[in-house]
Amino acid sequence: MSMNLISDGRILDVVSFSSGVLFVEMVSLESGEARLAYRCFDFTKNSFLPVTMGVYLLNKFGPSYEPISDKLNNSVLCDAAVLPDKRVIVLTPDGNCAIFSKEGALSWSGQFSYHDNYVRSPFTNGNYFWCTVPDENAIVQYDASSLKTHIRIGNIDSGAFTSPVTLSVYDDVVYVCNSSIGKIKTVSLPMYEVGEYKSFDEPVYKYLKVGETEVVWLKSGLYML
């Protein structure tokens, strides 16, 4: 498998934009302190471009990123998706959920779980959004309007997924990153057939597609495939 390294830094988050990826790294200063660095790699230019924190937040939370990020304790260590009606759902690693209006006003907050297990990695697909449930070995499709469960694939005793951490949806295929076994599995829609897409010798955290370019975030770094 051909893999081209974008960064092997301490990556905290990766989001896509129109012609590349934006990512956040923790970098160490000569003083011994650490700070966040916002990076941009453009696939059309095959090079890094200057980027601001605001551009990263815009691509993560949408046009109302300023009031949304102001209300969050941490805008980097969370997952977000813009729903079809422009509301924004934000999920944190500890299971807290916040839903914002398209203007960025907080409309609901609380625990968002499936069978009392935290859900992660929302990704909008049509009138629905998908999430992973790592401790349930499952992925779940929710109705974007009602936030009610529509479909579940996998379960705690199933071999379909193993601790799925993130997912993404492109061209009626759900790509599911199973970090602990280093595999990206797929679910073809609308038949809901589970298959295997790619395998790595290390944990895989995230898979994204920008145009025809595939990006994978592994333990060792961020790569183009």
pLDDT in tens, 29-56: 888 889 999 999 999 999 999 999 999 9
Percent of the chain with pLDDT over 70: 100
Percent of the chain with pLDDT over 90: 87
Q: Looking at the domain assignment, is residue 159 inside a domain?
A: yes
Q: Looking at the domain assignment, is residue 43 inside a domain?
A: no
Sign, CA dihedral 158-175-115-153, equals negative
Q: Looking at the domain assignment, is residue 131 inside a domain?
A: yes
Q: Looking at the domain assignment, is residue 225 inside a domain?
A: no
Instruction: Residue 122: give the domain boundaries.
Output: 63-217
On whether the CB atoms of residues 152 and 139 are closer than 8 A, the answer is yes
Number of domains the chain is built from: 1
Q: What is the CATH number of the domain that holds 72?
A: 2.120.10.30
Per-residue pLDDT at 30: 81
87-145 confidence digits (pLDDT tens):
999 999 888 999 999 999 999 999 888 989 999 999 999 999 999 999 999 999 999 98
Question: What is the rounded CA–CA span in Å between residue 133 and residue 91?
Answer: 12
Question: What is the rounded CA–CA span in Å between residue 209 and residue 89?
Answer: 21
Q: Looking at the domain assignment, is residue 173 inside a domain?
A: yes
144-160 confidence digits (pLDDT tens):
988 899 999 999 988 89
Q: Looking at the domain assignment, is residue 54 inside a domain?
A: no
